[in-house]
């Protein structure tokens, strides 16, 4: 069998990939927060892990690979966009507008990523003729699992309730910081942490927060509220992939704090599991040598490029021209080169 070698962020080494169970290779990749169109940078992890998924399916067989990528459909940015629409005169409750926005954005995301030739994630099942079903869980579908996980963390002393919030005790997990190579004591000055008077420690992060008024919320032992971002991925990964699975992927920007927090809460909630064995992170994207930013006027979405007539296969090829662990620079010249190369390949293969 072909040996796959992966650079594991967790160990900082290139390692031979050895799945927990070759008959059920499992990979989780953090998906988008669905409040707006996917920008070009959002497409990089999609393409990177689509390539890895295809390789795993080739080596182990399509029916032996489970690939999960979530949708974060409960988030303050989504709430803010729905509120903006309501204030602009859109009919319906805030909850209605949130649901409309997430449905609309997920449909956009599917259309844009399909145009880039990315296969949709799938999970093995005996309940469909093909033996596979789509594996794009939405956070709102797993609130019960999140509440259960949070309650367990409180019971074990790894989390506490304060002012209607539930927070994770970062210092209760001795391995915190290993993924990102940081020490807890060195993090506080440079970390992007929410300063709140009800925290025991500035690094403690939110597992559950209260909802008021028309804000989306679910009943819980701590009152009406909604989950923090980090607990969502931990709960969905556990429910669909188990206490231990093979690969967890995402953009380098998620390494800290999101992935660090995922590891901490998952390890404490399920101490007999290993969570993810291999961690992979793709580097960030630039445009013409500069960080993509609305203030610089170089911010654009995948749909912007498609509407300008740039074929999806050209966009995909530009991404693949740069190693996934190297910063990638999108330039008009690279797009021209990619188009020319693809045209030459097409002539060679089609005469």
> What's the pTM?
0.93
Nearest to 111 by CA among 343, 259, 301, 337: 301
Contact 192, 257 (CB under 8 A): yes
Using CA atoms, how far residue 157 sits from 29, 42, 72, 175, 184, in Å, is 29, 36, 27, 16, 19
pLDDT, tens only, 22-80: 999 999 999 999 999 999 999 999 999 999 999 999 999 999 999 999 999 999 999 99
Mean pLDDT value of segment 319-343: 96
For 162-182, write each residue's pLDDT tens digit: 999 999 999 999 999 999 998
Q: How far apart (Å, rounded) are the C-alpha atoms in residues 47 and 194?
A: 32
Q: In whole angstroms, what is the distance from residue 226 CA to residue 207 CA?
A: 9
- In 228-296, beta strands by DSSP E: 244-251, 275-282, 285-287, 290-291
CA dist 140 and 74 (Å) reads 7
pLDDT digits (tens, 9 = 90+) for 106-139: 999 999 999 999 999 988 765 554 555 668 999 9
On the CB side of 182, CA atoms within 13 Å amount to 19
Nearest in space to 113 (alpha carbons), one of 62, 53, 59? 53
Q: Measuring CA to CA, which residue among 88, 80, 73 is closest to residue 31?
A: 73
Output the CA–CA distances (angstroms, integers) from residue 31 to 40, 92, 178, in the order listed. 14, 28, 23
Handedness of CA 302, 240, 192, 278 (dihedral sign): negative
The rounded distance, in Å, linking the Cα atoms of 321 and 197 is 48
Task: Give the pair of three-digit tokens for residue 21.
Answer: 């169970």
């Amino acid at each position: 069998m072909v040996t796959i070698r992966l650079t594991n962020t967790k160990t900082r080494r290139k390692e031979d990939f050895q799945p927990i169970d070759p008959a059920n290779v499992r990979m989780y990749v953090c998906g988008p927060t669905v409040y707006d169109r996917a920008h070009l940078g959002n497409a990089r992890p999609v393409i990177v892990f689509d390539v890895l998924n295809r390789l795993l399916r080739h080596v182990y067989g399509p029916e032996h690979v489970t690939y999960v990528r979530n949708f974060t459909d409960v988030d303050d940015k989504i709430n803010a966009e729905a509120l903006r629409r309501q204030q602009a005169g859109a009919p319906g409750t805030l909850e209605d507008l949130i649901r409309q926005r997430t449905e609309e954005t997920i449909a956009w995301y599917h259309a844009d990523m399909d145009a880039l030739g990315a296969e949709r994630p799938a999970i093995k099942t005996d309940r469909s003729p093909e033996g596979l079903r789509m594996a794009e869980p939405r956070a709102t579908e797993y609130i019960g699992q999140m509440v259960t996980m949070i309650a367990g963390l409180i019971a074990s002393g790894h989390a506490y309730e304060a002012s209607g919030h539930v927070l994770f005790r970062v210092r209760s997990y001795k391995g915190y910081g290993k993924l990102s190579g940081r020490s807890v004591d060195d993090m506080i000055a440079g970390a992007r942490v929410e300063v709140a008077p009800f925290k025991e420690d500035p690094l403690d992060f939110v597992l559950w927060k209260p909802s008021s008024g028309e804000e989306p919320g679910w009943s819980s032992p701590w009152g009406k509220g909604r989950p923090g971002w980090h607990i969502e991925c931990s709960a969905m990964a556990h429910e669909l992939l188990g206490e231990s699975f093979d690969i967890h992927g995402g953009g380098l920007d998620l390494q800290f704090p999101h992935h660090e927090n995922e590891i901490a809460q998952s390890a404490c909630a399920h101490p007999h599991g290993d969570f993810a064995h291999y961690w992979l992170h793709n580097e960030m994207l630039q445009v013409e040598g500069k960080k993509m930013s609305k203030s610089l006027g170089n911010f654009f979405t995948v749909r912007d490029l498609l509407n300008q007539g740039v074929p999806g296969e050209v966009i995909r090829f530009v991404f693949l021209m740069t190693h996934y662990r190297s910063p990638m620079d999108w330039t008009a010249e690279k797009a021209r080169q990619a188009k020319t190369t693809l045209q030459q390949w097409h002539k060679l293969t089609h005469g």
